[in-house]
Structure 1
């Protein structure tokens, strides 16, 4: 568990230590790979902020919430409960573009249902959630969530320090999701190439039109409960297509010479 940041007469709020921690986080983020950026941010948040025990990242796209990353199962459970109820610090921070801090989730009048359930079922006493400003994806909203199992875990100083960490978290989430989109695009392009090549193979072998060859791939995919791209790869690799026949269903007709 994190310990309170030290205060000195010259730095009564311990802000220098917080600033140093943020600098260290920035240095850490330059050394990790894109697919571990988000995990690095939330891990650092737990290590840096006093009495933070768990952290997570919530994303919201087209009305659907999901947890992108979490430091433990209890954070996942707390997030999921709030998604199910439709309210709570992490949900409202995302929806309202705001910061929400609660020192007594069990009795917080803002979230009488979700707060009480998170306290009772997951054992959370406090929460602190920030809306994250993402770039290059207007359809996506995100939030950084911090949890503790003790009441009044987060004070104004912690909230201020968390704001700096939330800035890094927004950058990390944007970077990770940009990589995910790039990977999905590359996968889609690769799949389309495989399907196109397989269609060409079937057209040449069986004298089919492009539409008939595509229909054969679709039927094989449906009958074998496999993705069309996987079936196409098999055709490209082996030159053959296995197509189980369903009773009463005629096969696509081959085009004569």
Structure 2
């Protein structure tokens, strides 16, 4: 599930900053061209580890601020993910929700005062990340900006839902096939060895432990052996 969620976040990152051409797995997040109007900097943030990790960013300022957020345990991205709602900060200089974050950022060389964080997640489930936008000039988020952000949030949510649903469907198919092949192997052992179902399952489990393989893999190996013996 973790790899699927990361792939889903990367999908959003590619939509937010389509100029990204470096691997998001590098220690330093790739710096890319800003793909959204109305803001000076943007970042896609992964929260699955419990604290913000920048996946991709348009400039070092927002990345530095999010590193501060990870250290302080508070800030716009953390609040957006925790609440599952859009977070708007008109002016960090007058922000009272995150005093440690605000003080550290304003005391540094990061000149970003207006912040917006959009949670990334599937409807009905906890958010797994966010898109954070920031600008140097303080001020309100205009209705037109909110409209664009709302449309983008819907698009990102659909992208995440589609990607995660595809991964879950694939896992369900694998799980169903695993149950089917184990059941078939148990049936073969019952018929060939005169065992009860619990005894056959225990024998198959013993083969799995001896070979250090999954139960389904042991079942496949058993069926392959029996198929060869009947030829």
| TM-score of the alignment, normalized to the shorter chain, above 0.5 | yes
Contact 1:220–1:231, Cα closer than 8 Å, also in 2 = yes
Asked if residue 44 in structure 1 is aligned to residue 22 in structure 2, the reply is no
Counterpart residue number, 1:15: none
Structure 1 residues 78, 178: CA separation in 2 closer, same or farther (over 3 Å shift)? farther
Q: CA RMSD in A?
A: 4.6
Q: Distance in 2 between matches of 1:185 and 1:154?
A: 48
Counterpart residue number, 2:117: 129
Q: What is the aligned residue count?
A: 197
Q: Which runs of structure 2 are paired with 1:26-105 in the superposition (5 Å)?
A: 39-46=10-17, 47-49=35-37, 50-56=39-45, 58=47, 65=50, 70-71=55-56, 87-101=74-88
- 1:223 positional shift: 4.2
Match of 2:130 among 144, 150, 170: 144
Structure 1 residues 176, 217: CA separation in 2 closer, same or farther (over 3 Å shift)? same
> SS in structure 1 opposite 2:131?
strand
Q: Distance in 2 between matches of 1:234 and 1:79?
A: 50
Q: Distance in 1 between matches of 2:64 and 2:209?
A: 36
How far does the alpha carbon of each residue in 1:126-164 deviate from its partner, in whole angstroms, 9 at most, with x for none? 7532235744xx34445532256x855996259523232
Structure 1 residues 218, 45: CA separation in 2 closer, same or farther (over 3 Å shift)? same
- 1:100 positional shift: 2.0
Counterpart residue number, 1:3: none
| TM-score with structure 2 setting the length | 0.60
Contact 1:43–1:55, Cα closer than 8 Å, also in 2 = no
Q: Distance in 1 between matches of 2:104 and 2:192?
A: 63
Q: Which runs of structure 2 are paired with 1:119-198 in the superposition (5 Å)?
A: 128-131=116-119, 134-135=122-123, 138-146=124-132, 156-157=141-142, 160=146, 161-198=148-185
Contact 1:132–1:169, Cα closer than 8 Å, also in 2 = yes
Counterpart residue number, 1:14: none
* Structure 2: segments with no counterpart, 5+ residues: 1-5, 18-34
| TM-score with structure 1 setting the length | 0.55
Structure 1 residues 79, 51: CA separation in 2 closer, same or farther (over 3 Å shift)? closer
Q: Distance in 1 between matches of 2:150 and 2:16?
A: 11
- 1:174 positional shift: 1.5
Structure 1 residues 142, 203: CA separation in 2 closer, same or farther (over 3 Å shift)? same
Counterpart residue number, 1:31: none
- 1:178 positional shift: 1.6
How far does the alpha carbon of each residue in 1:203-238 deviate from its partner, in whole angstroms, 9 at most, with x for none? 233222111121122233344443222222222223
